[in-house]
Amino acid sequence: MEHDRANHRVIVVGIGPGAPDYVLPVASRIINNAAVLVGSNRALATFAKKNGQETRQIDKDIGGVLSFIAAKLAATDVVVMVSGDPGFYSLLAALKQEFPEPRIQVVPGISSVQLAFARIGELWQDADLISMHGRLPEDEKLSYRQGKKLGILTDQKHNPSYIANVLLTGGWPPASLVWLCAALSYPEEKVLALSLEDTVDISGFDHCVMVVRG
């Protein structure tokens, strides 16, 4: 179902990996000037003004979030904050299905994958980027070839230990290099380098960026 609300727009703003230092100045200006601001609980706690902004948390009720946005578009633009970059596994996909594309403006952000590769000093132009947040990629994406590089978003179920087992079963060498990058941009940030074989026994990195180089 599409919604047409005059000339008001849904402005989807990438807020980077989390810390305000990694938000683009143009994104900060849009967030600060927003009359209606939508985002995760953590994003709202970090970026929303204390007064003067109407806010809506992004929760599991995505339909409710979309309905809220549609209603507010009758009177004003709605700014939607998404972590990382909007073009990489974000709410933008659902917004594009719900609203006409001319009504959507996208402001880029620094993705956690991008920051992870920067932290370890690796090129990512030749990497296969994969999200395993609640999903499994096709076998071909995880298949091994010499020199192959993966950048993977992990979750609690598809954690580094689980992924390491999948890759080893698929023929990746046990000595393949792995970097686990967690809480990127925050004071508690952790970056750990180890072998794929040793990753099988790792814990405490459920939600992270996992980089693998064959």
Q: Residue 117: give its domain's CATH number.
A: 3.30.950.10
Q: Is 137 helix (H, G, I), strand (E, B) or coil?
A: coil
Regarding whether 157 and 77 lie in a shared domain, the answer is no
Nearest to 195 by CA among 206, 207, 179: 179
Six-digit token pair at 104?
Answer: 């959507």
**100: in domain:** yes
d(CA 77, CA 128): 35
118 located within any domain: yes
Q: Residue 152 belongs to what domain range?
A: 112-213
The three-point CA angle 105-111-115 to 5° equals 150
3 is a domain residue: no
User: Residue 40 belongs to a domain with what CATH number?
Assistant: 3.40.1010.10
**E-assigned strands of the chain?**
10-14, 36-39, 54-57, 78-82, 104-107, 128-131, 149-153, 177-182, 190-195, 209-213
Task: Please provide the distance, in angstroms rounded to a whole number, between the alpha carbons at the two ends of the chain.
Answer: 45
Amino acid residing at 80: V
Q: How many domains does the chain have?
A: 2
pLDDT of residue 148: 96
**Residue 170: both structure tokens together:** 């698929």
- Asked whether residue 121 falls in the same domain as residue 174, the answer is yes
Is residue 52 domain-shared with residue 103, that is, in the same domain? yes
Q: Which of 65, 82, 107 is the last residue of a domain?
A: 107
Per DSSP, what are the bridge partners of residue 212? Answer: 150, 178
Sequence-distant (≥ 6) Cβ neighbours of residue 93 within 8 angstroms: none
Q: Is residue 5 part of a domain?
A: no
User: Which amino acid type is present at position 167?
Assistant: L
Neighbours of 64 (CB within 10 A): 12
pLDDT of residue 102: 87
Domain boundary among 47, 81, 107: 107
pLDDT at 6: 61
**Residue 1: inside a domain, yes or no?**
no
Same domain, 119 and 209: yes
Q: Does residue 4 sit within a domain? A: no
Asked if residue 122 and residue 65 are part of one domain, the reply reads no
**99 and 144 co-located in one domain:** no
Rounded to two decimals, the pTM is 0.88
Residue 127 lies in a domain: yes
- Can you give the pLDDT at residue 120? 98
Beta bridge partners of 213: 149, 177
Which helix H or strand E contains 72, and what residues bound it? helix 62-72
Do residue 28 and residue 98 come from a single domain?
Answer: yes
Residue ranges for the chain with pLDDT beneath 50: 1-5
Same domain, 186 and 95: no
Same-domain pairing of 69 and 145: no
pLDDT at 161: 97
Q: What pLDDT is stored for residue 200 in this prediction?
A: 97
| Predicted local distance difference test score (pLDDT) of residue 121 | 98
| Same domain as 166, residue 128 | yes
Which of 107, 131, 164 is the last residue in one of the domains?
107
pLDDT of residue 1: 40
| Domain membership flag for residue 2 | no
My answer on whether 78 and 161 are in the same domain is no
User: How confident is the model at residue 65, as a pLDDT?
Assistant: 97
